[in-house]
Structure 1
Amino acid sequence: MTPSSPPPTGRAARLRLRHSLQVAERGADLLDRQLHLLRTELDRRREAEARAGATWETRVHEARTWLRRGLLLGGESALRTASLVSTADVTVEWRDALGVRHPGGVSVCVGTRAAADPAPGNTALVHARRAYCAAVTAAAEYGAAAAASRLVEAQMTRTRVRVRALRRLRIPRLQQDLAAVERALEQAEHEDAVRWHRAAYGSGSGHGR
């Protein structure tokens, strides 16, 4: 193990330690405020995630309901020619908030049915295709909301770790070092005063002989 370095000494060291302690305390206070804002932001993001998740589940349920109706009306052969969902392009809009880069929204472009594709065999399958397209959009929005929550939560965890490191390690260590320097300076000043007094007293008694 590497031995720890001795604490700094002297008036210059006291000034440096006082400055470092002030900087650490201000930093901890700022991080505490940021942590509070991140908690509020995380609550908001989790609420948005829950709403998006509920919307996605609703859209999936609606799509499955229309699909079952289409199958009852046209059978499985109608499903094979329905072309319920084609390709979809998802564009994520990124934003920055409280030092966190996160998805702020998405836009989804679901491909239209090609003219050569056979038309759905019944009206229920037409509704099913629209419902599945809506479900794809809802899934993308839910994914973006969930990702935003995870990113804000990760930033909050990192901030909490930094606050704890300052409050429990850095600041106490600086306080201990500063207290040690001040005790050493007080001791040195006391010894200087004693030496000065002795020198003055000795000089005075010599003149009196």
Structure 2
Amino acid sequence: MNARARRVPAGRAGRLRLRRSLATAVRGADLLERKLRLLLDREHRARRAAEDADRVWRRTLAEAETWLVRGVLLGGEGALAGAAPAERARVDVRWSVLMGVRHPAVVSWTDPVRSAWERTPSNTALAHAETAYRAAARAAAELAVHRAAAELLAAEAVRTRQRVRALRRHWIPRLREDLAVAELALEEAEHEEAVRRRWAAGHGARRTRR
């Protein structure tokens, strides 16, 4: 008796157990494939959002640096001293869960508010630079959120794909082979039992006639 034959449960109960295991494995593979499609779709959207945020960040950062240079040329480096508001910007990240994967989904940005006693930019160029830097910072926050989400979703997609591959290529074929062996063994056992019954019935009839 080989290793596979020893592993296959005997009898009708064993065959039923194999059928249930096979059905569970197939259903599990189907659900994992659905999960994989959802993960890949959300990852794709996160990467597109990250690309958009990256373009905005690069554009606004370049714009801010241009205005900053102009502002310094107009007012000197001393114009930067104390020009930034004391209050800091606030960034809040809302998390979401997709198929068990927790990932950052939305970022909200609250600009700092300059109090009445704080200095304002000394020239228009610095005012434009401040506005552009705030836009760049917002875009950087969105970029970070979307990139992090894409990486988390991609990592789970890799694990899910591996599980699907293990089920489709190894576990399900093995269960099908085991089920075929079990059904063949049960068919042979039932055939042998039928032969024995016919032999016993014929032998009993001959004894009765004697």
Query: Same fold by TM (over 0.5)?
Result: yes
Q: 2:171 corresponds to which residue?
A: 170
TM alignment of 1:13-52, pairs within 5 A? 13-52=14-53
1:154 counterpart letter in structure 2: A
1:61 counterpart letter in structure 2: A
Label 1:28 to 1:18 Cα distance change in 2 as closer, same or farther (>3 A).
Answer: same
TM alignment of 1:58-77, pairs within 5 A? 58-77=59-78
Q: 1:206 corresponds to which residue?
A: 207
User: After the TM superposition, which of the residue ranges 152-161 and 133-142 deviates more from structure 2?
Assistant: 152-161
Rounded to whole Å, the distance in 2 between the matches of 1:121 and 1:38 is: 50
**TM-score normalised to the size of structure 1?**
0.87
1:122 counterpart letter in structure 2: N
Rounded to whole Å, the distance in 2 between the matches of 1:119 and 1:37 is: 49
Asked if the contact 1:88/1:108 (under 8 Å) is kept, the reply is yes
Label 1:182 to 1:85 Cα distance change in 2 as closer, same or farther (>3 A).
Answer: farther
User: After the TM superposition, which of the residue ranges 32-41 and 12-21 deviates more from structure 2?
Assistant: 32-41
2:119 counterpart letter in structure 1: P
Query: Residue 87 of structure 1 aligns to a residue in which SS?
Result: coil
Q: 1:94 corresponds to which residue?
A: 95
Asked if the contact 1:85/1:129 (under 8 Å) is kept, the reply is no
Asked if the contact 1:84/1:128 (under 8 Å) is kept, the reply is no
Displacement of 1:29 in angstroms is 1.4
Displacement of 1:112 in angstroms is 2.3
Asked if the contact 1:28/1:166 (under 8 Å) is kept, the reply is yes
Q: Is the counterpart of residue 161 in structure 1 residue 162 in structure 2?
A: yes
Asked if the contact 1:106/1:140 (under 8 Å) is kept, the reply is yes
Asked if the contact 2:85/2:115 (under 8 Å) is kept, the reply is no
Q: 1:78 corresponds to which residue?
A: 79
1:162 counterpart letter in structure 2: R
2:72 counterpart letter in structure 1: L
Asked if the contact 2:57/2:136 (under 8 Å) is kept, the reply is yes
Asked if the contact 1:86/1:112 (under 8 Å) is kept, the reply is yes
Label 1:172 to 1:102 Cα distance change in 2 as closer, same or farther (>3 A).
Answer: same
Structure 1 residues without counterparts, runs of 5 or longer: none
Asked if the contact 2:85/2:113 (under 8 Å) is kept, the reply is no
User: After the TM superposition, which of the residue ranges 113-122 and 164-173 deviates more from structure 2?
Assistant: 113-122
Residues 7-33 of structure 1: CA deviation (Å, up to 9, x unaligned): 211101111111111121122112222
Asked if the contact 1:59/1:135 (under 8 Å) is kept, the reply is yes
RMSD: 2.4
Displacement of 1:53 in angstroms is 1.1
User: After the TM superposition, which of the residue ranges 92-101 and 138-147 deviates more from structure 2?
Assistant: 92-101
User: After the TM superposition, which of the residue ranges 168-177 and 198-207 deviates more from structure 2?
Assistant: 198-207
Asked if the contact 1:85/1:132 (under 8 Å) is kept, the reply is no
Structure 2 residues without counterparts, runs of 5 or longer: none
Identity of matched residues, %: 51
